[in-house]
Amino acid sequence: MNIDSIDHIVLTVKSIEKSLEFYVNVLNMKEISFQTGNDKRYALQFGNMKINLHETDNEFDPKAKIPTPGSEDFCLITKTPIKEVIKELNDKHIQIIEGPEDKHGALGKITSIYLRDPDKNLVEISNYN
């Protein structure tokens, strides 16, 4: 077996609406919706990946053993210079809780900033150096 990439992750959230607002309006992801049987589902698309959203107590099976809002910690890579990302987040009144600082990504050195989404998940936004 040779795993190549991540296709999607699932975030368990308290409110689909608040999560869509944050990821679409703050991080400029694209909202998508789709049907699974009788259920309307929501996701966030960016690049060639997506984040599926499951609302607490209304998750879809199969699911994580203990789906919990605020338990995620993930890193998003942007080609936008981190100084421009900081300015955009400041203009949108989004608090940066740490950074910029140098870290190690999957492919080498990155410069990262950290913020929290509406469920208090830790979102790292980074540039490769």
For 103, residues 6+ apart whose C-beta sits below 8 A from its C-beta are 109, 110, 111, 112, 124, 126
Quote the CA–CA distance of 116 and 120 in Å, as a whole number. Answer: 5
| Pairwise CA distance, residues 45 & 28, whole Å | 9
Catalytic residue among 17, 55, 84, 124: 124
124 is a catalytic site residue = yes
Quote the CA–CA distance of 34 and 47 in Å, as a whole number.
18
Q: How many CB atoms lie within 10 A of CB 94?
A: 16
Task: Indicate which residues carry an active-site annotation.
Answer: 124
